[in-house]
A and B are shown apart, each in its own frame.
Chain A
């Protein structure tokens, strides 16, 4: 059994975090340099955490598999970051950001965490501006805002369509300052392959130097995983090609509980796949839904070009079904509706899996110049990929896997079930429930890294001695041997199939059986096929080259091997959650309006999986809602 005590503070929800911080133990400035902290991953969560911890004085070792920490996939976030500043005087508040996030997550997140996230949203903007993040400004020089999918207020801050890039560069530059000051030791092109647990506490990691192939280990007083999400398991996703589950999966196998692994967000506005060779999907920021209208022809298999289809022959299905939110319904609702209309044969484009996102009316209303100022780089990106100009032809979009709400279980302090092992950002499960609101992932990563982890980890560190364990410890030797053995095993299979061919096949299974909508039969099919594919992988994998040099096939194969285990847990989790909630849409459980039908009596909980020799074991953390009572989501009225 896992210990799932969440360490929640008491008191009114708006005072909980302050009370909690006031009760935490501190480490004095002179003692901090003697504590070593490992941070794996340099996206928004990892970079902000590493920079903050180092600036406090801790000795930080930071790791990323890319050639530079600036390349982590946070860089690709386009749309923006939410903050309850209420600059627009439109009734926004911490409370409203909290309730939007909870409702968006369909009441499958811990409300104490979510409230804290909303509270910390405003200081994030202050922090980013102080670092030199050039947010969009209004004519008077004040910060500009826009609204973003699924909400009725304008609280999203942005830098054109490059908000993630600019926030990441802010955090990366803060890291650079600390690298220069020698408080962060940066290990680029270095991949974490296992976690070292000594006497029940996380004490270090084993890594592979991706250039020389050498296996090394590093010891510390605490380990922070900021390794992002696992959406790449679907092969086609909006994730970067290198995104993987290896760090969190290896931690899971060493004892960390994995929470809600099946909760996957499918983003409604990606560019549709063009054919067989597609290697990834490119997102079009959902801010486009502010001005674009989504439609399909009313008649099935209507192959006429869009401008020949009259207004009466167009089905604006979101506007018709959800008159209040229209094209701004939450992501899962938009994605499911797109799939539904395409399954009915109404889809457009060469594959029939696409819907129009049309800017004609917005261009007429505001003028092409205004629309260009808002979305120029997105339009350009679209044209580059599809060879079509959205000013002349409506965009085509289709849902794509984008974000994983599930991840390592963490308590209120962001610590996993392994003492001393923390998980932050997308790598944990904590704040988005069964569905994440747009512009909230950047917010969560930075709340975790800049403000929460630095104080909670100090409390943990203050309770433990330093430098009592180093890499000479027998446990480090043992895990290092495990990693060497595993690497050798991958290299020695000697079969015929490339890592990519297995990844592609796994992706097909996951998309069909554990994608936008799920059913018992489909999930059982997935649970049958994945172990077979895994067996074939270990029998028929081919890696050319050796382990003593840079070998991208070997890196890839290791990640695919872990996906092949992770996918089974995802299907198992989706199967046991015999309800629909947020993005987790079980066909058996829907309202008469095709909305997700929750079963609060049986599933008002977080499913937390424990790795045991006899297979995954299910634990549950019950969710209690005191501040905001549960409600059925309804975006129709």
Chain B
């Protein structure tokens, strides 16, 4: 297979960027998208040109490092697929492919296709945890959790933190990312004591980091490599309203653990 690649090149966060064109031969359908970029980089190095910088690590769709906008879609054309698990068999031979970094105010470009996603870490730091010291803990089976609740919590917790939801959103909102963590912890009995404080702190932080507000475009769900449901955003909004009404101060009987 043969492709025309149009790739964003940018020296560093201060320099202006530009699209550069490359042509690449000898691509096979069983190559992953990142293996195709590896091949391009080998070709560039052989020609004495700087290889294209891109984030990647596990290459099995779970670490969340890879973050490419492919032909205008976060992680490319396959649904529920991170870039590292996208294969060249999904592209027609001889076509052009445009590859850009995530575009969002809160994700400054570091170099080429690499962006700084530390804003997502800071949202978690603002409250995306259950306060906890290491040490003796109660026997887990003394506090049963319905399997469907545990599964729903896991559906939300499956988020890999790649930032595709932000890149896909016309408003660059990190609402799906935030909602997934709020739901993961808020559905579990252990997560109740901090439930309302958590949603407030995380949302405030999200806004401070320069992410936009959610306008229900739904692009986040469509382009999420883990298929995280937009329904979690509805849950977040309910919790946020309750938190704003001060329910968190009078929580007894006001919420359901499961």
Contact = CB atoms under 8 A, between A and B. Distances in A.
Interface string B106-150: 000011001011101100111011111111111111001111001
Interface in B35-61: 35, 38-39, 41-42, 44-46, 48-51, 53, 55-61
A531 B83 CA distance: 37
Given A67-B116, A549-B111, A553-B51, A500 B38 contact: yes
B129 A174 contact: yes
Given A73-B63, A130-B132, A123 B137 contact: yes
Q: Which of A127, A130, A166 has the most CB of B within 10 A?
A: A130
Interface in A542-566: 542, 544-545, 549-550, 552-553
A177 B190 CA distance: 16
Interface in A438-487: 450-451, 454
Chain B's interface: helix, strand, loop or mixed, by majority? loop
Contacts of A165: 62, 158, 160
B138 A242 contact: no
A179 interface: yes
Contacts of B85: 381, 384-385
A142 B144 contact: yes
B63 A75 contact: yes
B144 to A, nearest CB: 3
A131 B140 CA distance: 11
B117 A68 contact: yes
A134 B137 contact: no
B134 A134 contact: no
A76 B51 CA distance: 27
Interface in A183-223: 186, 188, 211
Contacts of B191: 132
Given A211-B110, A549-B11, A71 B63 contact: yes
Contact of A71 (B44, B57, B144, B147): B57
Interface residues of A, number: 81
B121 A75 contact: no
A277 B190 contact: no
Given A134-B151, A141-B147, 8 more contacts: A68-B161, A76-B63, A130-B132, A188-B121, A240-B63, A277-B35, A544-B50, A549-B12
Interface of A: 48, 51-52, 55-56, 66-73, 75-76, 87, 123, 125-127, 129-132, 134-144, 159-160, 162, 165-166, 169, 172-174, 176-177, 179-180, 186, 188, 211, 240-242, 274-275, 277-280, 282-283, 380-381, 384-385, 387, 450-451, 454, 496, 498, 500-501, 542, 544-545, 549-550, 552-553
7 contacts: A68-B121, A71-B63, A127-B134, A130-B130, A130-B132, A132-B190, A165-B62
Interface of B: 11-12, 28, 30-32, 34-35, 38-39, 41-42, 44-46, 48-51, 53, 55-65, 78, 80-81, 85, 87, 89, 110-111, 114, 116-118, 120-121, 124-126, 128-141, 144-147, 150-151, 153-154, 157-158, 160-161, 184-185, 188, 190-191
